[in-house]
Amino acid sequence: MASHNACPTELQPGRGWRIARAVIGSLLVTTWKCRFGLMRGQRRRAVSARQLRLFCERMGPTFAKLGQLASVRPDVFSPETVFELERLQDRMPPVSSDAIQKAIIQELGADPETLFADFEQEPLAAASVAQVHRARLRQDYRPVTGALLPAGTEVAIKVLRPGIEPQIAADLAIARRWARRMARFKRLARWRPVELLDEFTAMLDRELDLRNEGRIADRFVRDFADDEQVIVPRVIWRHSTRRVLVTEYVEGWPLNDLGAAERAGIDARALATHGANVFMHQVLVLGYYHADMHPANLFVTPDGRICFLDFGIVGTTTPPQREAIAQVLVGLVYGDADRALRYSRELGLEIPDEQVARVHKRVEELVRNHLLSGPQADVRGFALGFLSMLADFRITIPAGYGLLIKSLVTVEGVARAIYPDLDLMQAARPFTTRLIAEQLLQPNRLRRRLVAARNAALEELLS
């Protein structure tokens, strides 16, 4: 974690003890709520997960962020924990406008009234690490992609909370001490607490440099430039630094505030389907995807477009992974458990030979119960069951694979926030089928398959 002394904040004395007391308090409550270990399986995990979320919310920005990062790691944490941490509230009381203005002066060398035509003192949003204010451009600006933004264009200014970096660095130093202690216990060491914390620290460090988010936003803008139903705010680099990110302001409703009245004015079904296809296009064609797609990071504009915000966490896929993921998806979409499992192994899911038959049976049941029966597929139910099953069989989940399953669940949630009756599996059929057809028609693939088919035919004729 890079230390920052530009916006010094006095670190609270005794913070380590306060964290220790909160941890012990939380453990006692969890033990009580789990009936001193008498509660078993999924229910116990669900109760513990809820206590963990409440702890993260109570302990402030560092733990809220760590919780958010843990929520995209189903390869490490139980599915109950991952889905519970997804609900972490990332809203904080706003910092005073004066403090934000000072931070902007420190970063950009001039006060916001000089840099912008208009600067709103009242924040648009205040989260654990940053606060957003609205303003207007004073001069024209040419962004990396697309048309010129004329003077007067509304912009959103995201500013890191003054002093947040040293506060997070101090909290992480305390957390690292705890992680080292945990690593001494055999039962806890299997979680590799020190390595995991190092990984989270690196992720957090990347997220605290707002330029990274801006660069990914630029790439999204370019890759979806031809898609009229997708909008990504463009970055105004002239006013953006490590701690300030200025983007176009997009008017709309966050998905968690989308009511029936708003849905009435748009083609909600088509937009939800398109949103799901956009995600699959990211994963299966572009090779990178927005991995933090919770409803607060997505807007629907009054003219019926989806707006993507906040590119803090991004997942990537390699070409062989993309091919295998497409096959897994087709397997799920068409209820072909065998295909889904076969290609899951290509994604690094190692199932011991003696467990293959049992795993196969459980997956078939899950597909039948959650994806094929009922009025609409339940991807969330399937994912929860699937991840729990892997945990029960003690099968290690590859990191990218876990994140992908979790992201599918998120996409279902997002699509249903737009159109509640959407069946994600039905919506995904045309896209995945087309993709598999394109993969099959690639010359090198065709060549391989035709040679194999010819050999098989010859073998058949000669036998």
Catalytic residue numbers, as ranges: 292
Stretch in the footprint of another protein (CB under 8 A) among 153-161, 290-298, 410-418, 439-447: 439-447
Q: For the CB of residue 429, give the shortest distance to another protein in the complex, in Å.
A: 23
Q: For the CB of residue 455, give the shortest distance to another protein in the complex, in Å.
A: 12
Stated as kind and residue range, the H or E segment containing 135 is strand 130-137
* 186, 443, 462, 463: which one binds another protein (CB under 8 A): 443
Site mask for another protein (CB under 8 A), range 48-87, x = bound: ----------------------------------------
203 DSSP 8-state letter: H
CA 357 to CA 364: how far, in whole Å? 11
Site mask for another protein (CB under 8 A), range 193-222, x = bound: ------------------x--xx--x---x
* 108 scored as a contact of another protein (CB under 8 A): yes
Instruction: Give the DSSP per-residue string, 351-384.
Output: --GGGHHHHHHHHHHHIIIIIISSSS--HHHHHH
Tell me whether strands 230-231 and 306-308 are parallel, antiparallel or unpaired.
parallel
* 28, 393, 447, 458: which one binds another protein (CB under 8 A): 447
* 20, 39, 46, 105: which one binds another protein (CB under 8 A): 105
* 288 scored as a contact of another protein (CB under 8 A): no
* 106 scored as a contact of another protein (CB under 8 A): yes
266 DSSP 8-state letter: S
Site mask for another protein (CB under 8 A), range 393-432, x = bound: ----------------------------------------
User: What's the residue count for the chain?
Assistant: 463
Residue recorded with tokens 């957003």: 132
Show the DSSP H helices in 132-252 as ranges: 164-183, 186-189, 193-208, 210-223
Read off the tokens for 88: 């972490």
* 8, 25, 41, 109: which one binds another protein (CB under 8 A): 109
Residue whose CB is less far from another protein, 221 or 349 = 221
* 23, 28, 270, 451: which one binds another protein (CB under 8 A): 451
Stretch in the footprint of another protein (CB under 8 A) among 72-80, 164-172, 272-280, 436-444: 436-444
Stretch in the footprint of another protein (CB under 8 A) among 106-114, 261-269, 310-318, 377-385: 106-114
Q: Which residues pair with 290 in a beta bridge?
A: 314
**Conformation bin of residue 310: beta by default, left when phi > 0, alpha when psi is -120 to 50:** left
Read off the tokens for 372: 């094929």
Stretch in the footprint of another protein (CB under 8 A) among 23-31, 119-127, 240-248, 288-296: 240-248
Site mask for another protein (CB under 8 A), range 241-260, x = bound: xx------------------
In three-state secondary structure terms, 94 is: coil
Q: Helix axis angle, 356-366 relative to 379-392, nearest 10°?
A: 160
Stated as kind and residue range, the H or E segment containing 245 is strand 244-248
Tell me whether strands 244-248 and 314-316 are parallel, antiparallel or unpaired.
unpaired
Q: For the CB of residue 137, give the shortest distance to another protein in the complex, in Å.
A: 14
CA 411 to CA 421: how far, in whole Å? 14
Please report, as ranges, the residues that interact with another protein according to CB under 8 A.
105-110, 143-145, 211, 214-215, 218, 222, 235, 237-242, 441, 443-444, 446-447, 450-451, 454
